[in-house]
Structure 1
Amino acid sequence: MLGLIGFGLSPNFYVILASVFFIGLGSAVFHPEGSRVSYMAAGTRRGLAQSIYQVGGNFGQSLAPIFTAFIFVRLGQKGALGFTLVALMGILLLLYVSKWYKSQLEVEAFKPIKREKGTNGTPIHPKIKAAIALLVFLVIARSWYSAGIGNFYQFYLIKDYGLSIEQAQLYVFIFMFAGVLGTFLGGPLADRFGMRNIIFLSMAGAAPLTLILPYVSLGWVIPLFFLIGFIITSSFSVTVVYAQELVPQKIGMVSGLIVGFAFGMGAVGAVFFGTLADIFSIKFIMIICSFLPIIGVLTWLLPSDKKVREYNS
């Protein structure tokens, strides 16, 4: 909320940077613990619970192009001040959630201590470490693709297709809104068909569509955008649950690693793509991005759901 206030009133670029820092800090503190709360509340439906948790954030992000087109284009940066009310509502809701979280931690404290792999000096299985490293790499690749589309495709639409700012933002909204649906359905599908299978299908399944996206006519952009957004984000919550299953005794740490570090690397990708766009062109960036989902074929190097359970038994 402090970051939003600072952003809305920023007189120069450096104050904007400081404001964004506060917003990012709040997000960094919230998401790993939020994933942990979701895990504690999930019971046996961890995929569904994580999907419900993350669909809220994805839905909010999907509205960003709409806000840009109808609020910020017309009101400027001061339009951000209205969203401080949303942040205040979040604070009040989280006070309620935190009370439940505290009570659950107190219950956990009185349970008999169970020694698990990875605690008290017992080493984590080497294959689990390798799987975590590969999972982080896969999430970074997916985050870079989303960053490329979310940050630059609107300029590609404006420059190469001749759309206005408002029209281009609506196209990006379709991509992000499809991602909301994919995020919500991905968890239940993983509960039914397996987490590794959904992670593989979300990236490898989107690859043929992403490869042709830079070359299609405008009429094909919307259906392709919707399908890509839906498919590639169907593993958005699944990767978090898969990491939690890999290291169940370090829920907070792996949640931060996937939700924080790996997803946050998308911002690094945005800077990288922006630099390339200045050197080459926006279309060049779109072509580079189109190849990233192919990396998803490496998912088959991850241990199956059954193997993960065996490693931690």
Structure 2
Amino acid sequence: MKLKSISNKIKGNPTMTEGTVYSILVICGISHFLNDMIQSIIPSIYPILKDKFDFSFAQIGLITLVFQMTSSILQPFTGLYADKHPRPYALSIGMCFTLTGLLVLAFAEYYWAILIAVSVVGFGSSVFHPTASRVTQLASGGKKSLAQSIFQVGGNGGSALGPLLAALIVLPYGQHSISWFAIAAMLAALIMVRLGAWYKAKLQYVVNHPLKTAGLNNNISKRAKYGALAILILLVFSKYFYTSCITSYFTFFL
């Protein structure tokens, strides 16, 4: 759908701006599904890389560190940039980085090339998540918990399916078969163009129709806000810390 037609639809339909836009939420969930499916493939192929290149566990750990640094630790910085400088088509651009990283990983023959490949894949994820989360919130129509749940279900589903696809495709056909997942990356990039068009039209509408804020947070001190944010960061950090450890352990143990 072209930007002009989307803009006209928004102007003629208040539910596209103030109501919950379920079509966009579903697309966000599908995009998250494809993104996280691709991301989950990397830890799943560790045994294949270890056997082929005779890597040590320390080298595998460094691959994980580089991947997590670019896909997770970098997100607050890409998110801050996305808040200050919204880029509607950043979603598709991020997936193009993921696509590039997959192709490099599929044909990498040196350790440094593998590190570059996983860092590029991770960077694609760090670009995707902040903007996709923001689009999800804009499409929530106030139902933020529901919107975030739909978004997370997509990501969790992709994380669950990725290792299975790696076992069915990469294990029997080898490292080069990773390139087959480029099809999923290209599909995701095309889907995200639709999200980008809606996001751009939404931004234009918000500029022309600024909403009045109710000031619900005026009575909350900055100390309380930062304290709550620190607790959330600690909880999420601890969750992914033990999740990553368990995932890496089971990959080699099983």
For Structure 1 versus Structure 2, the TM-score category normalised by the shorter chain is 0.5 to 0.7
- The residue number in structure 1 matching 2:175 is 283
Secondary structure at the counterpart of residue 249 of structure 1: coil
Please list, as runs of the form range in 1=range in 2, the aligned pairs for 1:101-140 lying within 5 A after superposition: 117=15, 124=20, 128-140=21-33
Amino acid across the alignment from 1:255: Q
- The residue number in structure 2 matching 1:234 is 127
The TM-score, its normalising length taken from structure 2, stands at 0.64
Give 5+ residue unaligned stretches, structure 1: 1-115
Q: Which runs of 4+ in 1 moved over 4 A?
A: none
Please list, as runs of the form range in 1=range in 2, the aligned pairs for 1:214-293 lying within 5 A after superposition: 214-218=106-110, 219-259=112-152, 261-265=153-157, 266-277=159-170, 280-283=172-175, 286-293=178-185
Give 5+ residue unaligned stretches, structure 2: 1-13, 212-254
- The residue number in structure 2 matching 1:158 is 50
Query: 1:125-157 CA deviation, whole Å, 9 max, x = no partner?
Result: xxx3332222211111111111101222x1232
Secondary structure at the counterpart of residue 127 of structure 2: coil
Secondary structure at the counterpart of residue 89 of structure 2: helix
Of 76, 79, 87, which residue of structure 2 is paired with 1:187?
Answer: 79
Secondary structure at the counterpart of residue 205 of structure 1: helix
Percent sequence identity is: 11
- How big is the shift at 1:226? 1.9
Amino acid across the alignment from 2:69: F
Query: 1:62-105 CA deviation, whole Å, 9 max, x = no partner?
Result: xxxxxxxxxxxxxxxxxxxxxxxxxxxxxxxxxxxxxxxxxxxx
Amino acid across the alignment from 1:201: I
- The residue number in structure 2 matching 1:305 is 199
Q: How many residues are aligned here?
A: 189
- The residue number in structure 2 matching 1:17 is none
Amino acid across the alignment from 1:236: H
Larger RCO, structure (CA 8 Å, separation 6 or more): 2
Amino acid across the alignment from 2:118: F
- How big is the shift at 1:250? 0.7
Aligned CA distance change for structure 1 residues 174 and 277 (closer, same or farther; 3 Å): same
Please list, as runs of the form range in 1=range in 2, the aligned pairs for 1:73-92 lying within 5 A after superposition: none
Amino acid across the alignment from 2:175: K
Kept in 2: contact 1:182–1:231 (CA 8 A): no
Amino acid across the alignment from 1:217: E
- How big is the shift at 1:291? 3.8
Amino acid across the alignment from 1:244: Q
Kept in 2: contact 1:211–1:291 (CA 8 A): no
d(CA) in 1 for partners of 2:162, 2:101: 21
- How big is the shift at 1:282? 4.5
The TM-score, its normalising length taken from structure 1, stands at 0.53
Amino acid across the alignment from 1:167: Q
Kept in 2: contact 1:175–1:229 (CA 8 A): yes
**In the alignment, is residue 178 of structure 1 matched against residue 178 of structure 2?**
no
Secondary structure at the counterpart of residue 255 of structure 1: helix
d(CA) in 2 for partners of 1:141, 1:123: 26
- The residue number in structure 1 matching 2:226 is none
